[in-house]
Amino acid sequence: MASEKRLALLEKMVADGSTDSFVLYGLAMEYAGFDRTDDAFAAFTRLRERDPGYVPAYLICGQLLAKANRFGEAREWLTVGLEKAHASHNEHAASELESALAALP
């Protein structure tokens, strides 16, 4: 499926009230793929509010913000994600979040 179609489908699913965290994560990822940083950040923020334990969102959003030179926000997302990863005993994610934090200027 072409990215434009995937984006439209995910937007519709969210607009129709999908409560699936993966759908919102997918929407954020699609926005990021189109360099729609603000839209991606809004989707990640909505996901964080809805499902604060969804650890992958913290890493990807932190990387997105770092790429946009929004280092303070990136640090905050990565730090919270690291806490969530440790709390859920997800050491692989914790390692990736630690690496992303260490790479920030």
Residue-wise pLDDT for 49-84, tens only, equals 999 999 999 999 999 999 999 999 999 999 999 999
pTM for the structure as a whole: 0.92
Q: What's residue 87's pLDDT?
A: 97
- Homologous superfamily in CATH for domain 3-103: Tetratricopeptide repeat domain (1.25.40.10)
Q: What's residue 1's pLDDT?
A: 54
Q: What's residue 3's pLDDT?
A: 86
Unique residue bearing structure tokens 């200027």: 105
pLDDT value at 31 more than 90: yes
The DSSP code for 28 is: H
Unique residue bearing structure tokens 């630690």: 98
- Token pair, residue 98, equals 């630690």
Please report which helix (H) or strand (E) contains residue 88, including its range. none
